[in-house]
Structures are given as structure tokens and as C-alpha cells.
Amino acid sequence: MRFALNYSPEAVALYEAGRIELDLFKVPNWESLVDEVLPRHPLYVHFKFQAGQGDATPEAIAQAAQLCDKTRTPWINTHLIPRLTDARDPYDADEIVDIMLRDIRPLVERFGAANVVAENIPFPERARDKSPRCVEPDVIRRTVEAADVGFLLDIGHARRTAEHLAQDPRRYIESLPVERLRELHVTGLGYDNSGHRVDHLPMREDDWELFQWVLDGVCAGRFPRPGIIACEYGGVGEAFRWRSDSAVMVEQIPRMLAMVRDAICERA
């Protein structure tokens, strides 16, 4: 299990000063940023593919292949988030699964099923053009199994969805296709200035507890050992400027890395 952190100028400064440790940076699929970071720091690319949005075009796939080759990114990721407008009946689970598969299959054809992972999204409470069925565990499982791809579990997304559905987040996570776990994302939850529930925030005690529960599941063999565990605090651009605090990283990244390292030792 390698530990990654969202790339941000603040994170790089701390890393270069030796104040935090990590195995690699997680960067968006921006060629200019990749070219800037790659000569100096280990990284992998997190792609913006969205299954159900029709964006798995030949051009986008070719660009992804180039970035994978350049950075040795181990797999291509896609987010399970279909548009309502693409479905005749946006509440028909069969149709929603088919819509997402239409965008996953070109990735599988190009990269192979073993090299594609699908990520759960948070309940689209603000994105009213997204089908709410895409967060249902059965729909996610059917899609992932039909495509025969790996699963990227975003703990914060799962918790936000479970809250919206009035479910226990642990039970919700267990109902997802976690037996195919390849990558894990973790971040704190909170509220933005508009009062909306968001992630990519500092960890609070309940966030730590849920993260530890997932790691305990990995140690116990209930979940496979993910290849990458990525902290998604911080980032690039205006959207992340207010949540890329160096003080938070200095306090929380060593604790998170220690938890990951302990999980590796216990599983070994």
C-alpha cells in the first residue's frame, strides 16, 4: 500500500522541507502540471472520466494513455455519475447501469479490465442533473461486476451518501463491491460557506474512526489491500485555496501515514 496526498503548492513545500512524508502525489490529469511535477517528485494521475457523461472519447483515452505511460500511473479511474438527461427513465436501474457501462467499456477495451477502477460518488444532492440511482450499492455492484473492473472506495463520498440515505456508513460501505478494492480515498467532512456538506476538509474524530474501521477491515482480510491510499486534503486552484492549510497537513498527514504503515505491518 502506497500513501499519496493531493498535490498542492503547500504540500510540496512541506514535503521538500522534510516536514511530511508520503510515497507519491496524486495529481489531476493536467499535462502542464504533470510536466512540472514529474521531474522532481513521485506522482500518479487521477483522471476525470465520468461514466455516464459520454466523455470516454478516443481523444480523451489517447491522452490518458500518454499520461499513464509518462507517469507509470497503475490504472485508469472513472467516476460512476450518469446524467439524468441521457436516460429514458432516470430511475430505471437497468438503464442507468447500461449508460455507465457504455463509458467504461471503451476504457476496458483500451487498457484492460485489470487496469480500470470505478469510483463511488457522493449522493448528487446539488447536481440535480445526475441520477440518484448511481449511488445505490446494487447499481454500483452490477456496473463494476459487468465491466469486471476494480473498485475505488472514496470513504468521504460513501459517508455523505449514507448520511443522505439515513444509513450507517459502515453498512453502506460493506454493501459496495469492496472485494474488488484497488484504491482508497480518505478526507475529512464538513460544511462550506453556503452550508453544503462537502469533503476535502481536515479530518475530525468521526472521520478518523471510520478510516480506522476501513483499515481494520484490510488488516482482518475482510477488504483487499489497496494499492494506493490517497488523502484528498488540499489541491490546486481557487476551489482548494481555502482548504490547503499547511498547519492541517503538518498535524494530520503524519498521523494518517502512521495508520497506513501500521495496517501494512499488521496484514504482513
| Across 8-21, average pLDDT | 96
All three cell numbers of 179: 472485494
Q: What percent of the chain has pLDDT over 70?
A: 94
| Across 12-32, average pLDDT | 96
Give the Cα separation of 186 and 6 in Å (integer): 11
| Across 95-116, average pLDDT | 96
Give the Cα separation of 8 and 61 in Å (integer): 26
Q: How confident is the model at residue 198 (pLDDT cuts 50, 70, 90)?
A: confident
Give the Cα separation of 216 and 267 in Å (integer): 9
Confidence (pLDDT) at 126: 58
All three cell numbers of 21: 512524508
Q: Which of 40-49, 71-80, 81-90, 214-223 has the lowest mean pLDDT?
A: 81-90
Give the Cα separation of 244 and 147 in Å (integer): 36
Please state, rounded to an integer, the average pLDDT across all residues of the chain. 92
Confidence (pLDDT) at 128: 63
Per-residue pLDDT tens digits for 121-175: 998 655 566 778 889 999 999 999 999 999 999 999 999 999 888 999 999 999 9
- Whether 237 has a pLDDT exceeding 80, the answer reads no
Q: Which domains does the chain have, with CATH numbers?
A: 2-267 (3.20.20.150)
CB 159 within 8 A of CB 148: no
CA torsion sign for 62, 63, 67, 73 is negative
What's the CA angle centered on 230, arms 224 and 234, to 5 degrees?
160
Q: How confident is the model at residue 264 (pLDDT cuts 50, 70, 90)?
A: confident
| Across 105-133, average pLDDT | 87
Residue whose C-alpha cell is 472520466: 49
Confidence (pLDDT) at 200: 85
The pTM assigned to this predicted structure is 0.94
Confidence (pLDDT) at 151: 98
CB 6 within 8 A of CB 26: yes
Confidence (pLDDT) at 133: 84
